[in-house]
Amino acid sequence: MITIIGSKTDLKSASAFLHDARFTFDAIDFNPQTQTFSLKLWVCAPRRKGGKDLQMWKAYLLSFAAVTDCKVKMHEKVSYYELATIRFVKREGCVHLVAHYGVEITLWIRELAGAIKETDESRQEWPNKSDSGCTD
């Protein structure tokens, strides 16, 4: 499944779908030569009704083309981050990927040209949020 993001309405729908999706810092990928940005996000799949099975997380790839610059600012090292919302500010020509805490991502774009692509990846477990797995 591929969902195209070409308008503010598409972006609002994508933002709602990806709300609380998890990602790791190393999943952020900006390529200045191709002017592309991608971020692998993990979305919690709904449990079967009455099911007591482990929670499953499905991977999706959020991508944008026509990205002229990208700024990533990490405030806190944690094992994963949760996406709160995605905002497009047309007059500034930028997309803000807003996490609940810990990291800010700003993309400067020539046009709103994005997509969400479902992958075949899934997982059941996440490390504790405070276990960053990072060494200073």
Tell me what pLDDT residue 132 has: 43
Output b/e per residue, 89-122; b: 16+ Cβ within 10 A. Answer: eeeebbbebebeebbebbbebeebebbbeeeeee
Q: Is the pLDDT of residue 110 over 60?
A: yes
Q: Are 58 and 118 in contact (CB under 8 A)?
A: yes
pTM of the model: 0.88
Tell me what pLDDT residue 124 has: 86
Alpha carbon distance 26, 7 (integer Å):
28
List the chain domain ranges.
2-44+57-122
**Percent of the chain whose predicted confidence (pLDDT) is above 90:** 79
Tell me what pLDDT residue 134 has: 37
Q: Are 49 and 71 in contact (CB under 8 A)?
A: no
